[in-house]
Structure 1
């Protein structure tokens, strides 16, 4: 149990086989919470995202921004677990581990004796989490999983986009992200259960299931009402004013979801009479007369800037639509401590968004940088695996480790 002042998962060890987003996001959050993450990477290139396109920290031959996003606070071990020697090393690490995370296609690890059934017999206290596209069993289990495809198949895409346009994907990998967050919740629940049962267990998390769970009230809208929820772009098909509006220098978003908020909005805009206008007196009437109300509002909103309107509306659900630069340069971001600068061993200083968790007694530690490939191989094998220097050198000579 973490002592006061230490991160809440201090003392928990995780063997992490995951790559790309969902699994690495999960283990990064666990690392912030104090868990020791041993990231197992292929000696030939490591995590797939190390080679990702786009800006690279440290220049053209540095680390990809993609990898840097999801891997802070971890120890990287470059190990070929497809070899008998590699598997022997892994078992030395698993013997002291609390959690194992993997996101290979179902059945892949069985070939190496690293499936749950094999592992559970040897390490009954180990919590084993598998992330896959469509679950570990069933006719779709062998399919690969890519976030936008899952957005399409789950119905997510059908409710996103302009009313008269096609369904659109979310630009953020929202299914991967939500699966990573749900993975953290599942692991913490299993760790808590183990304090009572003394046993580990298997957790099967599917991206597809997560996408369906994330449909939320829109899924229930169809199940209970029998109708497809309508796309409304930046607006809302059943709530007005709930959309983006032009101002003097850009757009502001307003989510005025009930009658009191509408009355307060009208007052803040200097037109309390709008709330008494029979065309706008109820939500249903505002929906029916949306174009008229929108024009009246924008005529007023265009007389001032989005920043000034945000101040006038600070007691209301409204805010400026910002660019990435505007959002991350906002002083509140720094006040909240959300921007960190990490000194990575290979590429130097790198700016990254930090943890959003705030614990009063056991604060998280999001200060450790993402690792270089194989940066901790020797230390982990000696200090955790118990190997001698000569044994580590022999494994490197055989190219089992990088």
Structure 2
């Protein structure tokens, strides 16, 4: 069946002042959905992640893997908005924009007249999303915030780690990632509301609030029951078998969360009698006798490989614990269209993970590469801000643009 072809946010323009992860991940998703995202970067080095450590596409002088992860499909404008001439250009862009996104500390943009209170008078239809550590108001609003600190302060870290060890942070920037996803949802909701109200609005998204929301049922476990949820490493404090298990060549993870699944697992492993064994016949008994159940299961699982067990247990919630190479080399990743190769203007071909959104009628466009610093400065300023070539040269001479 033919599709409409246009991505869902085609025609929406976003002015993006954000850096690092939460904001850039949000605007990358908006770009995939068809929005035109104009990324405003400091002419002196750009987004902080451009200077990040680790592998660089194109060698030592190439582009940081970190920056490449979160900035697909955007137009980079190298612009110093701390100067009046730079602010004037920002205003020309905002005149034709739908959304502005920023993640400076509260109060920073007010110094340049780019706070919501100032801009909403001139651009009443503008949707203005602010990402901060602790929100736009309150006694903590001036504090900086980084993902692991928010994991620690929100209680998230207290439930992660081995039962007898210390609380551990998640290696992925999970608070930033969740904030990005909530940001996309909030912006789409505000665009939908504007259709009826004719008005824009400010959206205040705090990493701290997002971390608290992400506690989910573990937060409710404490609020309703009064007790700290117990850490259980790769296991689960209230379910078994729900953990990692040894095979002959590595580990698999099994999440056998109810009675029917346990019966089916016992059959698949060749031991249907486990399901009626008094030690294992209910979830409570399996949790109480977890070490013995684990021992019996691993005796069987060690007779074959994690790959073969994955096939034998494919009708059950079980799968191999893979390395990054094993995971991203898996054929299903390519079949799902999740690996993309991007032709970057400066460093050539770069492999990256693409969008996970699959729309049947308005497919996303995740085919455009991340930009070089200032790659689109002249084009955007000519076409959208109406800046002449002579003025571009003058602005560049004064280091307002790069």
- What's the TM-score, normalizing by structure 2? 0.99
Q: For 1:21 and 1:59, how far apart are their aligned partners in 2?
A: 23
* Equivalent residue number for residue 321 of structure 1: 321
- Report how many aligned residue pairs link the two structures: 400
1:291-339 deviation per Cα after TM superposition (whole angstroms, max 9, x unaligned): 1100000000000000000001111000000000000000000000000
Q: For 2:363 and 2:145, how far apart are their aligned partners in 1?
A: 34
1:134-193 deviation per Cα after TM superposition (whole angstroms, max 9, x unaligned): 001111101001000000000000000000000000000000000000000000000000
* Equivalent residue number for residue 203 of structure 1: 203
* Equivalent residue number for residue 298 of structure 2: 298
Give the root-mean-square deviation of aligned CA atoms. Answer: 0.6
Q: For 2:9 and 2:392, how far apart are their aligned partners in 1?
A: 29
1:241-279 deviation per Cα after TM superposition (whole angstroms, max 9, x unaligned): 000000000000000000000000000000000001000
Residue 27 of structure 1: SS of its match in structure 2?
helix
CA apart distance, 1:391: 1.0
Q: For 1:193 and 1:233, how far apart are their aligned partners in 2?
A: 43
* Equivalent residue number for residue 364 of structure 1: 364
Q: Does 1:180 align with 2:180?
A: yes
Residue 131 of structure 1: SS of its match in structure 2?
strand
* Equivalent residue number for residue 394 of structure 1: 394
Q: For 1:146 and 1:114, how far apart are their aligned partners in 2?
A: 24
Q: For 2:282 and 2:381, how far apart are their aligned partners in 1?
A: 68
> Which 4+ stretches in 1 moved above 6 angstroms?
none
Q: For 2:49 and 2:288, how far apart are their aligned partners in 1?
A: 48
1:42-84 deviation per Cα after TM superposition (whole angstroms, max 9, x unaligned): 0000000000000000000111000000000000000000000
Q: For 1:48 and 1:177, how far apart are their aligned partners in 2?
A: 17
* Equivalent residue number for residue 58 of structure 1: 58
* Equivalent residue number for residue 123 of structure 2: 123
* Equivalent residue number for residue 193 of structure 2: 193
Q: For 2:251 and 2:158, how far apart are their aligned partners in 1?
A: 25
Q: Does 1:82 align with 2:91?
A: no
Q: For 1:82 and 1:59, how far apart are their aligned partners in 2?
A: 32
Q: Which runs of 5+ in 1 are unaligned?
A: none
* Equivalent residue number for residue 132 of structure 2: 132
* Equivalent residue number for residue 107 of structure 1: 107
* Equivalent residue number for residue 219 of structure 2: 219
Q: For 1:388 and 1:90, how far apart are their aligned partners in 2?
A: 15
CA apart distance, 1:370: 0.2
Q: For 1:393 and 1:191, how far apart are their aligned partners in 2?
A: 36
Residue 253 of structure 2: SS of its match in structure 1?
strand
CA apart distance, 1:4: 1.7
- What's the TM-score, normalizing by structure 1? 0.99
CA apart distance, 1:387: 1.1
* Equivalent residue number for residue 254 of structure 1: 254
Q: For 2:221 and 2:32, how far apart are their aligned partners in 1?
A: 37
* Equivalent residue number for residue 151 of structure 1: 151
Q: For 2:310 and 2:221, how far apart are their aligned partners in 1?
A: 32
CA apart distance, 1:388: 1.1
* Equivalent residue number for residue 28 of structure 2: 28
Residue 104 of structure 2: SS of its match in structure 1?
coil
* Equivalent residue number for residue 167 of structure 1: 167
Residue 101 of structure 1: SS of its match in structure 2?
strand
Q: For 2:63 and 2:334, how far apart are their aligned partners in 1?
A: 25
Residue 175 of structure 1: SS of its match in structure 2?
helix
Q: Which runs of 5+ in 2 are unaligned?
A: none
Residue 26 of structure 2: SS of its match in structure 1?
helix
1:218-258 deviation per Cα after TM superposition (whole angstroms, max 9, x unaligned): 00000000000000000000000000000000000000000
* Equivalent residue number for residue 384 of structure 2: 384
* Equivalent residue number for residue 47 of structure 1: 47
Q: For 2:298 and 2:90, how far apart are their aligned partners in 1?
A: 62
